[in-house]
């Protein structure tokens, strides 16, 4: 089948299966095109929970599909590529977290949504890159154990200096490799462009930015700002929506290394196969799911 035939088949299957297709901002353009909604992991999980379809096809990585399942246990949640995982989420396990908690008995555990259901279940509250500062500010205790992203954690520590933030040493392999030297080079090439950076980048890159925010905040900022040119310091998939929504503006990628190999595993073919064969289903232990939901719910109350 050619690309257009696959797209037609996906639309037919979607109806037959009573499915909704959701895609993370970092997915390849073709997958974003066939999706019902594009967004960040939390926005997509909330969208799925409020949607009446029986099947959720989550085009992203495993922890995102798990979050959808945590919030929508009655639905069938499918991840099109079984091996689409997140190396940063894998840098903390529930067992290692339990050990670390023993070293900091009074600390509140804040876990970035980029973590497994088991780690969420061991945590007190979740956060996203959009709300991490508000989540930490809402906690009355001074000591916070922040897992797994050291870069997001150190950005939060800078913005909320009254807290003692204990950092886990995890990082996003895609954002962490951007070097501040690349910022200088791109700034020289495009002196009239604003630099918008994700807080998963290292501190010196974040410090050099004109704006720091999650993918959604970057998309919203570029839309509302009157500037014409932007250097984008997050995964390249976000360019699809930025260009689609702002055809009169120009976007440059901060670094050619801003590609997440796991996010690029999902293709039109995998979306088609997933709907055709109803694979790969996400299943969670109910006890873990309930505990993980507590951490998500506490965040959602803020
Ligand atoms: S971009 Fe980074 S945090 Fe996001 S899925 Fe890829 S490795 Fe994980």
Half-sphere exposure of 184 (CA within 13 A, CB side): 4
CA-proximal residue: ligand 1, atom 3 (nearest): 172
> pTM higher than 0.75 for the full model?
yes
Q: Are residues 51 and 108 in the same domain?
A: no
- Would the CA dihedral through 106, 158, 176, 23 be positive or negative? positive
Going by their DSSP bridges, the two strands 211-212 and 194-197 should be labelled as parallel
CA-proximal residue: ligand 1, atom 1 (nearest): 260
What CATH number does the domain containing 67 carry?
3.40.50.10800
In a domain, 62, yes or no: yes
CA-proximal residue: ligand 1, atom 8 (nearest): 86
Q: Which atom of ligand 1 is nearest to the CA of 86?
A: 8
Tally the domains of the chain: 3
In a domain, 211, yes or no: yes
CA-proximal residue: ligand 1, atom 6 (nearest): 260
Tell me phi and psi for residue 57, to 5 degrees. -100, 110
CA-proximal residue: ligand 1, atom 5 (nearest): 86
pLDDT for the residue numbered 104: 98
Per-residue pLDDT of the chain (302 residues; tens, 9 = 90+): 899 999 999 999 999 999 999 999 999 999 999 999 999 988 898 899 899 999 999 999 999 999 999 999 999 999 999 999 999 999 999 999 999 999 999 999 999 999 999 999 999 999 999 999 999 999 999 999 999 999 999 999 999 999 999 999 999 999 999 999 999 999 999 999 999 999 999 999 999 999 999 999 999 999 999 999 999 999 999 999 999 999 999 999 999 999 999 999 999 999 999 999 999 999 999 999 999 999 999 999 98
Q: Are residues 164 and 297 in the same domain?
A: yes
Pull the structure tokens for residue 131.
Answer: 């709300």
Query: How many whole angstroms from 263 Cα to the centroid of ligand 1?
Result: 7
Q: Are residues 249 and 109 in the same domain?
A: no
Q: Are residues 165 and 296 in the same domain?
A: yes
Q: Which atom of ligand 1 is nearest to the CA of 261?
A: 6
181 Cβ contact list (under 8 Å, min separation 6) = none
pLDDT for the residue numbered 87: 98
Query: How many whole angstroms from 114 Cα to the centroid of ligand 1?
Result: 8
Q: Can you give the residue range of the structural domain that contains 182?
A: 174-253
Give, for ligand 1, the residue of 41, 44, 151, 175 to mutate: max count of ligand atoms closer than 8 Å to Cβ: 175
Q: Are residues 103 and 28 in the same domain?
A: no
From residue 165, how far is each of 109, 124, 146, 251, 302 by CA, in Å? 10, 15, 7, 34, 20
Q: Are residues 201 and 224 in the same domain?
A: yes
**Residue 25 DSSP one-character state:** T
Query: How many whole angstroms from 189 Cα to the centroid of ligand 1?
Result: 27
Query: How many whole angstroms from 173 Cα to the centroid of ligand 1?
Result: 7
Q: Are residues 157 and 295 in the same domain?
A: yes
In a domain, 135, yes or no: yes
Residue carrying the six token digits 């989420």: 89
Starting at the edge strand that comes first in sequence, how are the strands of the sheet with 229-233 ordered? 211-212, 194-197, 229-233, 250-253
Q: Are residues 104 and 167 in the same domain?
A: yes
For residue range 141-170, list pLDDT tens digits in order. Answer: 999 999 999 999 999 999 999 999 999 999
In a domain, 258, yes or no: no
Q: Are residues 142 and 182 in the same domain?
A: no
In a domain, 130, yes or no: yes
């Amino acid at each position: 089948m050619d690309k257009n035939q696959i797209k037609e088949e996906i639309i037919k299957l979607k109806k037959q299966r009573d499915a909704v297709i959701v895609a993370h901002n970092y997915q390849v353009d073709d997958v974003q095109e066939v999706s019902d909604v594009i967004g960040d992991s939390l926005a997509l999980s909330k969208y799925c929970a409020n949607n009446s379809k029986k099947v959720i096809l989550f085009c992203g990585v495993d922890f995102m599909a798990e979050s959808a399942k945590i919030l929508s246990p009655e639905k069938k949640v499918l991840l099109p590529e079984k091996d689409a995982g997140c190396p940063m989420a894998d840098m903390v396990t529930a067992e290692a977290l339990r050990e670390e908690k023993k070293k900091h008995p009074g600390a509140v555990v804040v876990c970035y949504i980029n973590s497994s259901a088991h780690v969420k279940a061991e945590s007190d509250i979740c956060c996203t890159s959009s709300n991490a500062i508000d989540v930490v500010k809402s906690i009355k205790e001074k000591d916070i154990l922040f897992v797994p992203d050291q870069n997001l954690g150190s950005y939060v520590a800078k913005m909320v200096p009254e807290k003692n933030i204990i950092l886990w040493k995890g990082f996003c392999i895609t954002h962490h490799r951007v070097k501040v030297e690349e910022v200088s080079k791109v700034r020289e090439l495009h002196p009239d462009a604003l630099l918008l950076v994700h807080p998963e980048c290292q501190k010196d890159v974040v410090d050099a930015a004109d704006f720091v925010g999650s993918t959604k905040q970057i998309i919203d900022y570029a839309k509302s700002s009157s500037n014409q040119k932007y250097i984008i310091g997050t995964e390249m998939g976000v360019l699809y929506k930025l260009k689609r929504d702002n055809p009169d503006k120009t976007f440059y990628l901060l670094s050619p290394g801003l590609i997440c190999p796991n996010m690029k595993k999902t293709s039109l073919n995998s979306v088609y196969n997933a709907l055709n064969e109803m694979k790969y289903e996400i299943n969670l232990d109910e006890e873990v799911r309930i505990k993980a939901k507590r951490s998500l719910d506490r965040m959602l109350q803020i």
